[in-house]
Amino acid sequence: MDLYEYQGKELFRRFGIAVSEGRLVTSPEEARTAAQELGGQVVVKAQVLTGGRGKAGGIKLAEGPEDAEQHARDILGLDIRGHVVRKLWIEAASEIEREYYLSLTFDRGEKKALFMFTKEGGVDIEEVAAERPEALAKLHVDPLEGFQAYQARRLIYGAGIEDEGEQKQIAKLAARLYTAFVECDAMLCEVNPLIVTPSGEVKALDSKFTVDDNALYKHPDIAEMRDLDAYPPEERAAREKDVTYVKLDGEVGVLGNGAGLVMSTLDVVALAGGQPANFCDLGGGGDAEGVVDALEIISADPQVKSILFNIFGGITRCDEVARGILQALERLTIEEPIVVRLDGTNAEEGRALLKEAAPPNLHVEPTMLDAARRAVELAP
């Protein structure tokens, strides 16, 4: 889950990383009030889940409340790479002497966290990495060893930081960033720019913070930060119902149990000459509730012309899923034809149940390929 800048900064603050004071607002009037409260110059910052806001006109310096209100008016509603601005972060402006770049992410190959640090911050880091790789200091952190003081020094000297005051502050900040990264189960913590003020203070002026979705159950406070309005409507409904769903472009709705099986189902639909309309994983369950929720979300997509149910029973029992399907069909009106393939644990019982009930528009096929072909045929 990607966090907004203001949310990432909230986490930074919790871990003792220096950030500026600010206020979250949603209207020009609130922006004016926030600027009044903060006093002096403020920065009006678009809160969207994408980078490059500055270049897109989503970051503006304001001299005072009136100016802040005007900038807020200009920035609210702005489309930044497909993200419409609905929230602003009004922050006490900082004086900037230098802009650095510091990030912490995963190097999956090395199975270690990876720090990247360069004095050439503020701009596109990809450019620095491509054109001047020697300016970019990289450092792996062994998860068992943790981030040690000698590593902080290596990182800082590696990037060529010579000022002693800066060295000390950055070492401390990097250690705190590592703690935040580990304790929040982050996938990415990026500070660009990490600034040095004219008085020599180091602080985080921006934040990109991504938390591992699979760890959110451990962090209810972070999970709560999710902004459902930032997702497409189908995915929003799916999240509310706890259904794993990704919208795709085709016409065959797909539902399976287990991510791997669903991925293969997408392939088989393509092999049969069709296009999947979505990825939807029922997970380990197959109870009526889960099936109803999933069917509701899939069939709400107007592009869907047929629905393919692909279940391989392991722990999940096929008779249970068959009951789920039948109950779901009693509760919902589904216009599209449904093709079902059941295999594995209690598959025969499951198929027998479907055959006995024989709801209209439901087709049972013996194999995955047969089922995919049928679903494609039925989705003209």
**352/28 Cα distance (integer angstroms):** 63
Is 190 an active-site residue? yes
Is 66 an active-site residue? no
Q: State the nearest-atom distance from the C-beta of 192 to ligand GDP, in Å.
A: 6
Q: In this structure, what token pair is assigned to residue 328?
A: 């779901």
93 binds ligand GDP (CB under 6 A): yes
Closest CA to 299 of 326, 334, 255: 334
Contact 208, 190 (CB under 8 A): yes
How many residues bind ligand GDP (CB under 6 A)? The answer is 17
Residue nearest to ligand GDP (CB): 54
What crossing angle do the helices spanning 233-240 and 288-299 adopt, rounded to 10°?
A: 170
122 binds ligand GDP (CB under 6 A): yes
Q: What angle do CA 240, 243, 247 make, to 5 degrees?
A: 95
Kindly give the pairing relationship between strand 112-118 and strand 137-141.
Answer: antiparallel
Segment 123-182, which members bind ligand GDP (CB under 6 A)? none
Residue nearest to Mn ion (CB): 206
The residue range among 45-53, 112-120, 223-231, 265-273 that interacts with ligand GDP, by the rule CB under 6 A, is: 45-53
Segment 178-217, which members bind Mn ion (CB under 5 A)? 192, 206
**5/151 Cα distance (integer angstroms):** 27
Q: State the nearest-atom distance from the C-beta of 324 to Mn ion, in Å.
A: 47
SS3 state of residue 107: strand
What is the residue type of 78? Answer: L
206 binds ligand GDP (CB under 6 A): yes
Catalytic residue among 5, 190, 336, 365: 190
Q: What angle do CA 141, 145, 148 make, to 5 degrees?
A: 70
99 binds ligand GDP (CB under 6 A): yes
Q: By C-beta, is 7 or 192 nearer to ligand GDP?
A: 192
Task: Please report, as ranges, the residues that interact with ligand GDP according to CB under 6 A.
Answer: 43, 45, 51-54, 59, 61, 93-94, 96, 99, 122, 192-193, 205-206
Residues of the shown chain interacting with Mn ion in the complex, contacts defined by CB under 5 A: 192, 206
Q: Which residues are catalytic?
A: 101, 190
